[in-house]
Structure 1
């Protein structure tokens, strides 16, 4: 794999710093406890009042603590496993690695821009930077001319492409349904609380939705870049949807009202994404020569 040393160093930095950030976020204590405040939009909300996220709302803190748990228990181990796998010259491992890094890139972009200022602010900035450059280097390491040859011709492109289109339309209608009505009636979107803007919606509408649509189109055309984009969104989708499921459960535990649709939709969609990953990886064929796996960049045999 090209840029092997740089990618390994960045991934180790991401994993170690994310471990620190999640442990502090989950187990930190102190603070005066829940406190009601009035926002600039004249709404009354309750602050979490405890630990690292004491100045975030009860809803916001419950979500981010749940995401910290998923990052610690699922995403960090997956990051190191996929790094080890990719270093052995595996295309599957590299696809898993770039998808997992995209989760960290998305997560710490949202932490850096959305959360109320806390003592780990600079740590979030470092994690965002390291994730961005690691993601860029892994993306640059692929042989794009031959990328399509690493996937079997019988890959069910309609199924994978249909999933990507479904993901894009789900996010599009979900977030526009929250944003557009308040724009028309001069109100405030649900969930804004005391924050300044809708960071998650910005990231999803500006990046995830267009990439999912583009990936779906390219997958239907059996384009190698489409397969790569699909792998990134599917792996990120598993980690992110697992985090969202944990957020929903933690919000319910904190007494935040949740709908039956929210309880059912995201866990169900997570199962579909896991199946998509199984289908995609099942149809990846590693570059091989007799006696071992061939590194696509160095043409060396790895037994």
Structure 2
């Protein structure tokens, strides 16, 4: 796991640095989409084939990854390697963030660029690292991992609130688009709404599942919740950075479009921090790392 996480850190560091530092290009230019709409393409840097809106948002993601994501990944990895259960749970959530980001980059949230293969490897590494860490905790006794007294109401309410936010923010506009037959607003030259699909197909059911399990006193719900909380925490600086860089790139927003998302995600992040701290306070400080399996010469394991 140490080397998996180091690999993710190296790949993400390279990708984020190139995304922020690579410059040059003809500048913004309009293109007509296959639906007959006009989209403004960035024309600059690594994201030169993306719209101005998406290119600025991707650079903001790279900035948050470098400033917050990578230090958190390295600190949590080191802490778990030294035997801290709490650090391992934070690592699980941090891997969820990297999985979320590089799944998007690899599967179509941005236009193809020269780092595509790097995105694919980072996506793969984050996916299997997340699965391994999740499985390592899932095999442990949940009553020992999350002992009696671990708060139930706050985590469950936050999970259900997250469900409502995702359905309102992504689901309603997509239903309207399906009813009217029009393309979703902001689709531009892209073929699909990857972020909306990921959030509605994976994140939304996970929040519901976590909330229901926690209310039923099934402590496996806490493990699912923790895997989502770090992502929710990092969404606040992500939304702020995206808004700032998009405004700087010339994207226009109304005052409500600026204040509403920032205020909403900051509140969500503060609540996620409070819930995560409340859960981790009840988690035992230390536990075994991933068990190593050694094989004897006759093919058996011990």
User: What residue number does 1:289 align with?
Assistant: none
User: What residue number does 2:80 align with?
Assistant: 86
Any conservation in 1 of the 2:73–2:94 contact (CA below 8 Å)? yes
Residue of 18, 26, 29 corresponding to 1:24 = 18
* Structure 1 residues without counterparts, runs of 5 or longer: 1-6, 287-292, 299-303
> 1:103: Cα distance to partner?
0.7
Q: From the superposition, tell whether residues 266 and 38 of structure 1 become closer, same or farther in structure 2 (CA, over 3 Å).
A: same
Query: Structure 2 length normalisation: TM-score?
Result: 0.90
* Alignment of 1:202 onto 2:204: no
1:1-303 superposed matches below 5 A: 7-113=1-107, 114-142=109-137, 144-258=139-253, 259=257, 260-286=259-285, 293=286, 295=288
Counterpart CA distance in 2 for 1:234 and 1:106 is 13
Which aligned segments of 4 or more residues in structure 1 are displaced greater than 4 angstroms?
none
Task: Count how many residue pairs are aligned between Structure 1 and Structure 2.
Answer: 286
* RMSD (CA atoms): 1.5
Stretch deviating more after TM superposition (238-247 or 40-49): 238-247
Any conservation in 2 of the 1:143–1:296 contact (CA below 8 Å)? no
Secondary structure, in 3 states, of the residue corresponding to 1:141?
helix
Any conservation in 1 of the 2:150–2:279 contact (CA below 8 Å)? yes
Q: From the superposition, tell whether residues 38 and 123 of structure 1 become closer, same or farther in structure 2 (CA, over 3 Å).
A: same
Deviations along 1:263-299, whole A, 9 cap, x unmatched?
A: 321222222222222222122223xxxxxx453776x
Any conservation in 1 of the 2:81–2:289 contact (CA below 8 Å)? no
Counterpart CA distance in 1 for 2:58 and 2:211 is 30
Q: From the superposition, tell whether residues 296 and 71 of structure 1 become closer, same or farther in structure 2 (CA, over 3 Å).
A: closer
> 1:9: Cα distance to partner?
1.1
Query: Structure 1 length normalisation: TM-score?
Result: 0.90
Deviations along 1:89-116, whole A, 9 cap, x unmatched?
A: 1110110111101111110010112211
* Structure 2 residues without counterparts, runs of 5 or longer: 292-302
Secondary structure, in 3 states, of the residue corresponding to 1:37?
strand
Any conservation in 1 of the 2:106–2:116 contact (CA below 8 Å)? yes
Secondary structure, in 3 states, of the residue corresponding to 1:36?
strand
Counterpart CA distance in 1 for 2:216 and 2:274 is 21
Q: From the superposition, tell whether residues 10 and 297 of structure 1 become closer, same or farther in structure 2 (CA, over 3 Å).
A: closer
Any conservation in 2 of the 1:248–1:262 contact (CA below 8 Å)? no
Any conservation in 2 of the 1:39–1:194 contact (CA below 8 Å)? yes
Counterpart CA distance in 2 for 1:204 and 1:32 is 34
Secondary structure, in 3 states, of the residue corresponding to 1:187?
coil
